[in-house]
Amino acid sequence: MLPEEKIQEEVERKKKILVVDDTKLQRLIISDLVTKLGFDVIEAVSGQEAIDRAGDAYPDLILMDIEMPGIDGFEAVRKVRQLATKHYIPVIFVTGFDNEKNLQACIDAGGDDFISKPVNQLALDLKIKSLLRLSDLLKQQRIQKEKFERTQHEIFREQEIAAEIFRKIVHEGSLDTPNIKYLLSPMSLFNGDILLAAYTPTGQLQLMLGDFTGHGLVASIGAGPAAEIFYGMTAKGFGVEEIIPEINKKMCRVLPTGMFLAICLLSFDSQQGLISLFTGGLPEQLLFSKDSGDIARIVSSNLPLGIIDNEQSDFSFEHLEVRADQRLYLFSDGIIEARNKNGKESGIEGLEWCLRNPVIEDSGFDSILESYKRFIGNNAQEDDLTLVEINFDPVLAVREGRQIIQKTKPPAAWQTSMTLDSEALKTTNPVPVVVNQIMELQGLQAYREAIYTIVTELFVNALDHGLLGLDSSLKKDAEGFMHYFELREKRLQEFYDGQIKISFKHKSLASGGQLAILIQDNGSGFDVTAVEKGLDNNEDYSGRGIQLVRKLCSSLAYSDGGRRAKAVFDWENMG
């Protein structure tokens, strides 16, 4: 029965009146009056019987005589009140006294009203109906309160279940890697901030900090789709430049008007000591050099995601050289907008002060947290809080045993190819696509990182050197690397006549299989020896890729003036 129906039934039900008097004549007179008023009557001849009937007959009102042998009316009402704690029973004392002392005693005993003997029918009718209306209102209030409490319990339970599902969807990924320290402190059960980390097949660490409009359940609605895109594309080897447009497209589709995602997405290549970075709508982030004490502010150069579609967006990405002594601090606005007891915000200057004047030795992250606690004092948290420290020490960033080794499929003979013309090369990175196709065909997840590295190196050489005519010697230092990247983008946009063909041919071997990777371009070719350097003691930003491919493959051969590269990769069956 619905609560509204229960309330209506309670109001319309014929009420029961308990008449208590040890005198038979008086009891009959009062019972007759009550019956004529349209109520059902229950009788009790003593205080003890009144207590018992109140417990088993559930009367709606009690007419109680005061002077009775044994338990008098006052004591009987006190015991009824003690027993009937969950529902209210109005009590009218029927008394022959009208002095103030006795009237006060009626109230003190728990009575609601009194009526003098001999009982007047009209007065009795008014008093009963008045108290029954009050009783009905209290019952309605109790039923509505019970409904509210049940609803609250159901909502909280549903939120707990949803939060558990949310945590499984927006899982931490690789946040436990040694070079990351972080704090996630939501305002409520759901978090409007999200923090994700995962490794690409080639070992680059990708991290995403997002801050949705508001906080709580409403603010977290876009977290699931964003996390799914981030983890899915990172696992397939897509970089920052490919992930951002996909997340923006999804946010434009799922977020309601007025909501958006402020975001920082970065990829850290520990071997090269470089980060690729996208910032949109977040506060300025801080790059701290521990050795020198210098702090560089990284200004957001893009709009938050989910505001304008990809066709209207002009995404800007940064590429920075980082050193082992540097730390990048990412944070949502809940950190810098925290206020002290005087209402003053900490601001980004407060974080910079913490880094230059650490309260905890050799730990910028812990110093910021401790200073934050001291700053706000006893003030309540006002927003979702997220703080991340990324240590760029390459030793800490190395992934150890994080691959999930999956069984390969039985070796089979197959071949596939893809040809990209100039327009496709301007807008598409085919490496993640073709490598994922190999994973589907042969189930080589255990070798994905090696295959991805091989295909990436050969494809980049074909595009950068074979078609765009770029010189790797430009990348001798960080400034040269930036110039190389800018020149690459310029030539790629001006590029109009050329193509690259990527072919794979697989055959089975006794112990596993052999994958032949052939990449051809129709450019002017390049001198392979000019871009190939050894892996050892090579601190330049180029020249190590071809040597790495040679180590991974059973053979690597360039021909046709560098326009044709063939690598052969042998793998062992893992069950």
- The continuous run of DSSP H or E covering 505 comes out as strand 499-508
Asked, colleague to colleague, whether 3-143 and 414-572 share their fold, the answer is no
224 has which bridge partners? Answer: none
Among the CATH numbers 3.30.565.10, 3.30.110.30, 1.10.600.10, 3.90.960.10, which is that of 414-572?
3.30.565.10
> What's the token pair of residue 292?
């020198």
Tokens of 217: 């359940």
Pair 276, 218: CB distance under 8 Å: no
Closest CA to 380 of 100, 178, 188: 188
482, burial (CB in 10 Å: exposed 0-12, middle 13-18, buried 19+): middle
Tell me if 375 sits within 8 A of 349, measured CB to CB. no
HSE-CB of 470 using CA atoms within 13 angstroms: 24
Strand order in the sheet with 40-44: 40-44, 16-20, 61-65, 91-95, 113-116
Q: How far apart (Å, rounded) are the C-alpha atoms in residues 489 and 426?
A: 9
Return phi, psi of residue 569, to 5°.
-115, 120
Looking at domain 3-143, its CATH architecture is 3-Layer(aba) Sandwich (3.40)
Tokens of 63: 């007419």
The CA distance from 514 to 507, in Å, is 5
pLDDT of residue 148: 84
> What is the pLDDT, as a whole number, of residue 286?
92
Other CB atoms within a 10 A radius of the CB of residue 245 amount to 14
Domain boundaries, the chain: 3-143, 170-397, 414-572
pLDDT tens, residue order, the chain (575 aa)? 445 555 556 667 789 999 999 999 999 999 999 999 999 999 999 999 999 999 888 899 999 999 899 999 999 999 998 887 777 899 999 987 766 676 788 888 889 988 888 889 999 999 999 999 988 888 888 888 888 888 877 767 766 666 565 566 555 578 888 899 988 776 555 556 888 999 988 788 999 998 888 655 655 677 888 988 999 998 888 888 889 999 999 999 988 888 899 999 999 988 778 888 899 988 889 999 988 889 999 988 899 999 998 888 878 888 788 899 999 999 887 788 878 888 788 888 888 888 888 888 778 888 888 888 888 887 777 767 888 999 998 887 766 544 444 456 788 899 999 999 988 888 888 888 888 888 888 878 767 768 888 898 899 899 999 999 988 777 776 677 778 878 888 888 888 889 999 999 999 988 889 999 999 999 988 888 876 654 444 444 445 678 878 888 999 999 999 999 999 999 887 55
Residues in the chain: 575
Closest CA to 44 of 32, 31, 53: 53
CB 41 within 8 A of CB 28: no
CATH topology of domain 170-397: Phosphatase 2c; domain 1 (3.60.40)
Strand order in the sheet with 499-508: 414-421, 499-508, 512-521, 564-572, 555-559
Residue 420: is it exposed, middle or buried by C-beta count within 10 angstroms (0-12/13-18/19+)? buried
> What pLDDT sits at residue 60?
93
List Cα–Cα distances, 106 to 45, 72, 75, 86, 242, in angstroms: 19, 12, 10, 22, 82
What gap in Å lies between CA 17 and CA 24, rounded to an integer? 17
Beta strands 326-331; 385-391: pairing state: antiparallel
Contacts of 472 (CB under 8 A, 6+ apart): 464, 465, 484, 530, 531, 542, 543
Sign of CA dihedral 94, 100, 105, 107: positive
pLDDT of residue 106: 84
At which residue do the structure tokens 């980390």 appear?
A: 197
| Four-point Cα dihedral 453, 459, 460, 462, nearest 10 | 150
